[in-house]
Amino acid sequence: MNLLANLDTAFFISWLAAAVRLAGPGLLAALDEIYSARSGVLNIGIEGTILLGALASYMMAVESGSTALGFIAGGVGGLIVGCVLAALYLRAHASQVVVGIVFNILAAGLASWIYALVMGNGSSPTIPMLEPWHIPVLSSIPVVGPILFQQPLPLYLTLILAVLAHYCLFHTRFGLSLRAVGENPRAAHAAGLNVLKIRTWGVMFSCVGAGLAGGYLVTAQIGLFRDNIVSGQGFIALAIVIFWPLEPTKSPARRLYLWCG
């Protein structure tokens, strides 16, 4: 009985640790997507951005031999995609829904074509994944330690970004301006804010986070690139952002006027 109980406990802990690790990419993408959504731009192209970020991460890791550089390359790939999407959303004034859906389809084909062009038809090399980082003392806590404190570094980065996102959105002037632009762009413009610039920053943040989420998938979970590597996690992140609870305080536009006055 003791042996069975120990096996059940070990399985349960391993299952929870894997669940926490697998939730990281979706959370990372959602954390930065919230900047775009709060600025008034719903970046539906996040699914394709994660895919292209994963491709950039994998190719950089293969070429350089550095998994850390591969993870960073995912964010750089997301930044490039952000420039394109920001131009379409904000400069060309195209429909956010149409652009997002078309971009996701285009990204799927583009990623497959680039991967086949660069890697050829041979077997894909596996990159070394980021090892779990055991936080001293905390990782030795029974049950909780293996679940929360023996995870790869991108997960800890995601948790830090979650705290920073809350502080940035609700306790800084930039976050107030971002939310005011999304709620009432005319009032924000009357208060002297550059609506186009702030929304561009929001889209850029969302795409960088999505690219890093793609890098997370490659460097901390799979170690390979596949066409179906994202598997809808971008849409899950989008749903998380849509259901993000609103701040139960004064209107951001009204607070902006009070701050400026």
Give pLDDT tens digits for 183-208.
Answer: 889 988 888 899 999 999 999 999 99
Instruction: Extract the residue ranges of the chain whose pLDDT is less than 50.
Output: 1, 3-4, 7, 248-250, 253-261
Specify the pTM: 0.87
Q: Is residue 7, in this structure, part of any structural domain at all?
A: no
Q: 36: closest CA among 168, 195, 182? A: 182
Domain membership flag for residue 216: yes
Phi, psi of 7, rounded to the nearest 5 degrees: -65, -40
**Domain presence at residue 18:** no
Give, rounded to a whole angstrom, the gap between the first and last alpha carbons of the chain.
70
The pLDDT, as a whole number, for residue 211 is 94
**Alpha-carbon separation of residue 139 from 10, 65, 220 (angstroms):** 15, 29, 19
Domain residues for the domain of 256 are 25-260
249 found inside a domain:
yes
What pLDDT, on the 0 to 100 scale, is given for residue 8? 58
In this prediction, residue 259 carries a pLDDT of 45
Q: Is residue 52 part of a domain?
A: yes
Q: Is residue 114 part of a domain?
A: yes
Identify whether 176 is part of a domain.
yes
Residue pLDDT, tens place only, 67-79:
999 999 999 999 9
Rounded Cα distance, 85 and 203, in Å = 8
Q: What is the pLDDT of residue 2?
A: 56
Alpha-carbon gap, residue 172 to 195, rounded angstroms: 17
Task: Give whole-number Cα distances, 144 to 132, 137, 230, in Å.
Answer: 15, 12, 28
Tell whether 4 is covered by a domain.
no
Q: Which two tokens stand for residue 135?
A: 């936080």
Instruction: Give pLDDT, residue 18.
Output: 83
Identify each DSSP E strand in 55-178 by its residue range: 132-134, 150-152
The answer to whether 75 and 26 are in contact (CB under 8 A) is: no
Q: What is the pLDDT of residue 6?
A: 54
How many domains does the chain divide into? 1
